[in-house]
Amino acid sequence: MEKVVNLAKRRGFAFQSSEIYGGLASCWDYGPVGVELKRNVKNAWWHDMVLTRHDIVGIDCAILMHPRVWEASGHVAGFTDPLVDCKKCKERFRADKLTDVQCPQRPSKHPGECGGELTESRQFNLMFKTFMGPVEDTANVVFMRPETAQGIFVNFLNVLNSSRQKVPFGIAQIGKSFRNEITPGNFVFRTREFEQMEMEFFVRPGEDDRWYEYWKAERLTWYGKYGVRPENLRLREHAKDELAHYAKACVDVEYQFPFGWSELEGIANRTDFDLKQHAEFSGKDLSYFNEETRERFVPYVIEPAAGADRATLAFLVDAYDEDEAEGEPRIVLRFHPRIAPVKAAVFPLLRKDGQPEKALHIRDLLAKQFPVQYDQAGSIGRRYRRQDEIGTPFGVTVDHQTMQDDTVTLRHRDTMQQERIPIDRLVSELKLRIEGDQ
């Protein structure tokens, strides 16, 4: 993990927020390479969950919502974690995750095992509160949303009436969420500001078990499709006593992070709880009428809820590898081409004979299609190494022969093999190899 975090900082994947002021705990900024990586993760999700499906539509809701939303959803009363204080070091910990963290003073021990006495656990609400408008009193309290899902539920009717969708159908959203986590950590795994990729799939009651199984399989397959190794993925079904009170079933897609198996995504059968709650609190009828069967019902909801930052971290960790190139150790990120932040790098072999001009021309040609870098500094081996470290799948080199026959060498990151390609076929070849059949 330390190696990944160091590489992330050195190569511009992620930086500590406000670093020059000493940093803000658990907040991270994505750098020039990281922003592309995370965007690719989100685009891959949107591509597969919205664009290529005809039964799911997208939405983008405001982060601030009516305070009643969070009463109806149960977050005001119940979105809490149990918290304990250590009387010795005065630090706070999540009572249900004590074995996941270290004592700040004795890192080989867990809190409570270090001789420090822990207080009784208390419930702590994770929602960030702020005030709307110029008056800071209780009447103006609003919350920063702790999940994107509620924006979807409260827009159920709007989407239904404006999109001509029929149950079963889904509404998907990618956006920021905020949770005042007691013990954030493990880089971008658990932060207080993060991005979620959530989809609520509305189904007829009675068909929910089938759709739950369907989404379990779909979502597990999704990570593998973009290159996560199958041995690092598993499904973990929640035991009955672990389930939220409204959930009929829930399963986590887990990834084997360097710090252990941990949740990447949760898939839950939320029953008709959310729509019924919002119907009751808002006074609006949120039932669905099936014209064909003349049947009226409140749909059940199957929710695959993923974290964009956690997924980005999983893709990064999974891609990390060390091997040897030309007798020297190299760090290589073996990203799937769709996930790789930079798709190709263009190099002139020599800084003369018109090669840089030709290479810049090729860079501009490729840049119209996807992120590409140009590099003319240092030996060609070192330039390849720099690209391997950020996982660029293709290297394009302009050499002496290019100036004669308009072909370039295409070097493959993983095999390090090279082939010769005419420049006029370069764009289409690369697009095919990056995008595949989508």
Closer CB to ligand ATP, 122 or 400, in the complex = 122
Is residue 201 within 8 Å of 215, Cβ to Cβ?
yes
Buried-state track 353-376, b at ≥16 Cβ within 10 A, e below 16: eebbebbeebbeebeebbbbbbbb
181 scored as a contact of ligand ATP (CB under 6 A): yes
Is residue 320 within 8 Å of 281, Cβ to Cβ?
no
Is residue 220 within 8 Å of 236, Cβ to Cβ?
no
Residue holding tokens 């059949």?
437
Closer CB to ligand ATP, 63 or 427, in the complex = 63
Whole-number minimum distance, CB 144 to ligand ATP, in Å?
Answer: 13
Q: Among residues 38, 310, 363, 383, which is the contact residue for ligand ATP, using CB under 6 A?
A: 310
Whole-number minimum distance, CB 373 to ligand ATP, in Å?
Answer: 29
Rounded Cα distance between 255 and 232, Å, is 5
Rounded Cα distance between 371 and 34, Å, is 12
Residue number closest to ligand ATP, CB atom: 307
Q: Among residues 85, 200, 208, 309, which is the contact residue for ligand ATP, using CB under 6 A?
A: 309
Q: Among residues 13, 30, 187, 194, which is the contact residue for ligand ATP, using CB under 6 A?
A: 194
Q: Which stretch binds ligand ATP (CB under 6 A): 159-167, 200-208, 305-313, 400-408?
A: 305-313
Alpha-carbon distances of 213 from 82, 219, 235, 274, 293, rounded to whole Å? 31, 10, 12, 20, 25
Closer CB to ligand ATP, 75 or 338, in the complex = 75
Rounded Cα distance between 393 and 362, Å, is 17
82 prior amide bond cis, ω within 30: no
Rounded Cα distance between 436 and 422, Å, is 20
305 scored as a contact of ligand ATP (CB under 6 A): yes
254 scored as a contact of ligand ATP (CB under 6 A): no
Q: Among residues 37, 72, 264, 279, which is the contact residue for ligand ATP, using CB under 6 A?
A: 264
216 scored as a contact of ligand ATP (CB under 6 A): no
Q: Among residues 209, 213, 263, 429, which is the contact residue for ligand ATP, using CB under 6 A?
A: 263
179 scored as a contact of ligand ATP (CB under 6 A): yes
36 scored as a contact of ligand ATP (CB under 6 A): no
Whole-number minimum distance, CB 63 to ligand ATP, in Å?
Answer: 15
Task: Kindly tell me the sign of the dihedral angle through the C-alpha atoms of 425, 427, 433, 435.
Answer: negative
Whole-number minimum distance, CB 101 to ligand ATP, in Å?
Answer: 13
Whole-number minimum distance, CB 64 to ligand ATP, in Å?
Answer: 19
Closer CB to ligand ATP, 249 or 366, in the complex = 249
Is residue 135 within 8 Å of 58, Cβ to Cβ?
no
Choose among 305, 381, 335: nearest CA to 148. 305
Whole-number minimum distance, CB 45 to ligand ATP, in Å?
Answer: 12
Choose among 403, 421, 425: nearest CA to 412. 421
Rounded Cα distance between 382 and 212, Å, is 49
Closer CB to ligand ATP, 181 or 353, in the complex = 181
Closer CB to ligand ATP, 198 or 272, in the complex = 198
Radius of gyration of the chain (CA): 25
Whole-number minimum distance, CB 416 to ligand ATP, in Å?
Answer: 35
Q: Among residues 173, 183, 191, 409, which is the contact residue for ligand ATP, using CB under 6 A?
A: 191
Which residues, 265 to 304, sit near ligand ATP by CB under 6 A?
265-266
Buried-state track 124-154, b at ≥16 Cβ within 10 A, e below 16: bbebbeeeeeeeeeeeeebbbbbbbbbbbbb
Q: Among residues 307, 341, 391, 395, which is the contact residue for ligand ATP, using CB under 6 A?
A: 307
200 scored as a contact of ligand ATP (CB under 6 A): no
The DSSP bridge pattern shows strands 344-348 and 372-374 to be parallel
Contacts of 37 (CB under 8 A, 6+ apart): 13, 30, 312, 315, 316, 335, 339, 340, 341
Closer CB to ligand ATP, 306 or 372, in the complex = 306
Q: Which residues bind ligand ATP (CB under 6 A)?
A: 147, 179, 181, 190-191, 194, 196, 263-266, 305-307, 309-310
